Amino acid sequence: MSKRINADDAARLVRSGDTVASVGVIGWITPDALLRGVADRFRRDSEPRDLTFYFPCGTGDSIDIRGMDHVALEGLMRRIISGSYVNPLHPTKRTRPELMRLIRENRIEAYSWPIGASMQWLREVARKGPGLMTEIGLGTYADPRQQGGKFTSLAKQDLIELIEFRGKPYLFYPTFPLNVGFIRASSADSSGNLSYEDETLISSNVALALAVKASGGIVIAQVRQEVPRYSRPAHHVRIPGSLVDHYVVEPEQMSGTDIRSDRAYLGGSAPDLRSLPKLPLGPDKVIARRASREVRPGRTCIFGFGASSDVPLVMAEAGLFDDGKIDDYQFTTEHGPFGGIVMSGWQFSANIGPEALLDGVQQLDFIDGGNCPFAALAFAQFDREGNVNVSRFGSSNPGAGGFIDIAQNAKDLVFTGTFTTAGLNVSIGSGGLQVVKEGSVRKFVDRVEQITYPVRKGVVERGQTALVVTERAVFRVTPEGLVLTEVAKGIDVRRDILDQMAFAPHRIADPLPFMEPSLFAASPETAEVTAAQKITGSV
């Protein structure tokens, strides 16, 4: 008997008060039709109501693949727990996602967990364990001594506990049951066996299905096509039909944002370096070029969302991967692709020309085990105590994603971002940069709004190294504080750096060298600075 149903039937299986778990990674592997179906039923029937949604990762792009934004409806959503939130401005409407409004206006109970915890927690539910115990997130906003992962004042329940085990502190995430699971795959047969031949990522789909079934819940899959039973080799089927109650066929499902299907993301051939997008010359490109100078062949390098994910693209444009040299590098993200080129923007999380793929839970195990010695990550705020914030600032509530797991376990860290934001305009040329209009929002602040990772503590206690790379200056994080180590030619240190910070650096290098002129070139160059160039008359 076939397990195939339609999206309306799937929505009717969700009951008021249920906990619904679903997973996608931005536009990748998002079961959009299933989430849309629940929202459509609520608008039509005012049912189901008061749901708790559990998203291990930000699901959907909130634009054409709306994902979690479909169910961001008062009355339908009572509580949400997510490893990250999607927080873009709509390209034409210039509005934030509806889910961001509900969080900002305190209309729902909203929690944000580190993505490692949100995925590894599923494994504890699946084996009917008491909860997840981890060191990841101590001293961050997930720590109950700070916000305990709470993003709204309506979120009153303590979902994360601080415990002591054998004399050491840990964070503990107690388990609770999941009633409905929405997952996605490429193909299903009549028995519900799921394969992922057209999907760039797997994320935590397997763990989520296991957790829901262990809870006595219902697992519903969205797939592009139905295939005959016994038509696929067993090693292509990642989720057996015994874990799947029903599936819905959605022939028009997108592979990812703006991508119907692109085999380049599936591997099987070396990446076509000539077809890669090229960044326009601007602050992000300067930052990515400078960060790329810290990348070394022969070790696994992991990249986060934002300017840091542009690093492999500028390296490719500079010819550093030509003549087979791409084989000397191993690039990954928190979502499991290995090899090839990490993509940026809406295509972030997947790689062009990957050689291997781990699922989300295994990838976070890989990260937490210290197997990514180099990490490049974005920053939104940095404060005088050496704390970095990317999880909540101003009107933005993106959560941490994989940031905490990555930052806590890498050996060498590079944090990337513009010096200020909101209206920043710069002129680039002649081997340097000038500020035409300063951004209205400072990013070097007295105190971050939320601690996503205590960087200086990591330098002191974990022996990490850390750089902060901007378009006009580079800082090194030392046990004593920030040290200004490089500045762009054309920048006045007093006006353009010190006066734009809420605190003074611990020290300014003397002599203070210029950033490499090639970083600001219109065409890619790989020339290295041969000697320090001292700035005079600026401080």
Last residue of a domain, one of 222, 249, 276: 249
- Residue 121 CA to residue 495 CA, distance in Å, equals 48
365 burial class (0-12, 13-18, 19+ CB within 10 angstroms)?
middle
Task: Characterize 276-290 residue by residue with b for buried, 16 or more Cβ atoms within 10 angstroms of its Cβ, and e for exposed.
Answer: beebeeebbbbbbbb
Mind listing the pLDDT tens digit for each residue in 280-316?
Answer: 999 999 999 999 999 999 999 999 988 899 999 999 9
Looking up residue 313, the CATH number of its domain turns out to be 3.40.1080.10
- pLDDT confidence band for 415 (50 / 70 / 90): very high
Instruction: Give 537's pLDDT tier (boundaries 50, 70, 90).
Output: very low
Neighbours of 259 (CB within 10 A): 16
Co-location of 315 and 454 in the same domain? yes
The mean pLDDT value of the chain amounts to 95
Task: Confirm whether 75 is domain-assigned.
Answer: yes
Same domain, 126 and 209: yes
Position 525 confidence tier, pLDDT thresholds 50, 70, 90: low
The answer to whether position 534 is within a domain reads: no
pLDDT, tens digit (0-9, with 9 covering 90-100), for 143-170: 999 999 999 999 999 999 999 999 999 9
Going by C-beta distance under 8 Å and a sequence separation of 6 or more, which residues neighbour residue 436? 425, 426, 427
Domain co-membership, 240 together with 300: no
CA-to-CA separations, 34 to 22, 105, 254, in angstroms, rounded: 10, 26, 14
- Which range marks the domain in which residue 409 is found? 264-520
What CA–CA distance (Å, rounded) separates 245 from 217?
Answer: 9
The predicted pLDDT at position 532 comes to 31
Whose tokens are 């619904």? That residue is 20
Residue 239 lies in a domain: yes
The answer to whether residues 245 and 363 belong to one domain is: no
Q: Does residue 529 sit within a domain?
A: no
**pLDDT > 90 fraction of the chain, expressed in percent and rounded:** 92
For tokens 């997973």, what's the residue? 23
Lowest-pLDDT range, 223-227, 235-239, 386-390, 526-530?
526-530
Residues 91 and 57 in one domain: yes
Q: How many domains does the chain have?
A: 2
Catalytic residue among 334, 438, 471, 516: 334
Shared domain for 503 and 448, answered yes or no, is yes
Q: Are 242 and 221 in contact (CB under 8 A)?
A: no
The whole-model pTM stands at 0.95
* Of the residues 202, 220, 249, the one at which a domain ends: 249
Report if residue 17 sits inside a domain.
yes
Which phi-psi region, left, alpha or beta, contains residue 342 (left: φ > 0; alpha: ψ -120 to 50)?
beta
Active site residue 471: no
Same domain for 233 and 269, yes or no, is: no
Query: Residues 295, 430: one domain?
Result: yes
Please check whether residues 307 and 330 belong to one and the same domain.
Answer: yes
Question: Is the same domain home to 371 and 481?
Answer: yes
What pLDDT digit, counting tens, does each position of 206-253 carry? Answer: 999 999 999 999 999 999 999 999 999 999 999 999 999 999 999 999
Contact indicator for 68, 99 with CB cutoff of 8 Å: yes
76-90, 161-175, 274-288, 489-503, range with the lowest pLDDT = 76-90
Does the residue 108 lie in any domain?
yes
On whether both 366 and 443 belong to a single domain, the answer is: yes
Beta carbons within 8 Å of 220's beta carbon, 6+ residues apart: 5, 10, 13, 34, 180, 181, 182, 183, 244, 245, 246, 247, 248
527 domain-assigned: no
Task: Assess if residue 403 is contained within a domain.
Answer: yes
- 148 with 245, same domain: the answer is yes
Domain boundary among 181, 215, 249: 249
Higher pLDDT, 508 or 537: 508
